[in-house]
């Protein structure tokens, strides 16, 4: 069975996994609001792992679609919100002395969406190499944080790399002609711009 949207077959495994993360958002949020840390940790861990799995499947089997990138991006935002809420609700005592870096990262993260909306009028479905690596690092950090403990060195690597990755994302959004799946990073965007001149 095929579901075609704007010339793309949108019914595929990565899109279904991303959609699961979207629809699980309210359930995980309610668990966090109710202080059910154990169930929150189980479901947020599933979401973090599924975030890695959907992208891996999409790239490995070449079933990357604009629709899937947009759904994945919305699911990523939801997962970020849940992980951050869990951090504030359950682990803030450990993180608070080092929160300045988290605030810098969050400012850059939000700025990337402001730039995307001002330039293209939509959610940026970009999966740059640096941002994918940041997602893996931060997912692993949150998993370790919630399941085991807070490691300061891991916090600085995961959140610091995230700030660098989203700074690159802002630059790509400024220099790129459009948002499309397959953009790798600023180097490639500038290289393609030179070729087209």
The percentage of the chain sitting over the pLDDT mark of 90, rounded to a whole number, equals: 26
Clarify whether residues 100 and 182 are in a common domain.
Answer: yes
Q: Which of 46-50, 112-116, 141-145, 147-151 has the lowest mean pLDDT?
A: 46-50
Clarify whether residues 82 and 179 are in a common domain.
Answer: no
Does residue 179 have a pLDDT over 80?
Answer: no
Highest mean pLDDT among 20-24, 95-99, 123-127, 133-137: 95-99
Mean pLDDT of the chain: 83
Could you list the residue range(s) of the whole structural domain that residue 58 is in? 1-90
51 compared with 131, residue with greater pLDDT = 131
Whether this model's pTM surpasses 0.85: no
Clarify whether residues 43 and 133 are in a common domain.
Answer: no
Clarify whether residues 195 and 103 are in a common domain.
Answer: yes
80 compared with 40, residue with greater pLDDT = 40
Clarify whether residues 19 and 100 are in a common domain.
Answer: no
DSSP state of 97: G
Q: For residue 9, report the phi and psi dihedrals to the nearest 5 degrees.
A: -80, 105
Clarify whether residues 112 and 70 are in a common domain.
Answer: no
Clarify whether residues 85 and 44 are in a common domain.
Answer: yes
Question: Which whole-number Å values give the CA distances from 185 to 1, 164, 171, in the listed order?
Answer: 35, 12, 9
∠ at Cα 55 (2, 82), nearest 5°? 105
DSSP β-ladder status, 4-5 and 8-9: antiparallel
Clarify whether residues 126 and 41 are in a common domain.
Answer: no
Number of domains in the chain: 2
DSSP state of 148: T
């Amino acid at each position: 069975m095929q579901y075609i949207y704007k010339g793309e077959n949108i019914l595929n495994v990565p899109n279904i996994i991303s959609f699961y993360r979207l629809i699980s958002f309210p359930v995980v949020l309610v668990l966090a609001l109710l202080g059910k840390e154990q169930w929150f940790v189980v479901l947020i861990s599933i979401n973090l792992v599924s975030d890695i799995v959907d992208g891996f499947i999409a790239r490995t089997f070449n079933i990357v679609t604009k629709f899937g990138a947009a759904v994945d991006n919305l699911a990523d935002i939801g997962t970020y919100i849940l992980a951050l809420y869990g951090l504030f609700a359950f682990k803030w005592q450990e993180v608070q002395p080092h929160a300045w870096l988290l605030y810098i990262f969050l400012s850059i993260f939000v700025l990337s969406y402001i730039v995307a909306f001002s330039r293209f009028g939509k959610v940026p479905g970009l999966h740059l190499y640096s941002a994918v690596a940041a997602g893996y690092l931060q997912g692993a950090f949150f998993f370790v944080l919630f399941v085991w403990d807070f490691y300061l060195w891991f916090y600085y690597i995961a959140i610091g790399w995230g700030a660098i990755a989203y700074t690159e994302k802002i630059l790509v959004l400024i220099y790129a002609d459009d948002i499309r799946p397959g953009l790798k990073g600023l180097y490639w965007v500038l290289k393609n711009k030179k070729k087209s001149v």
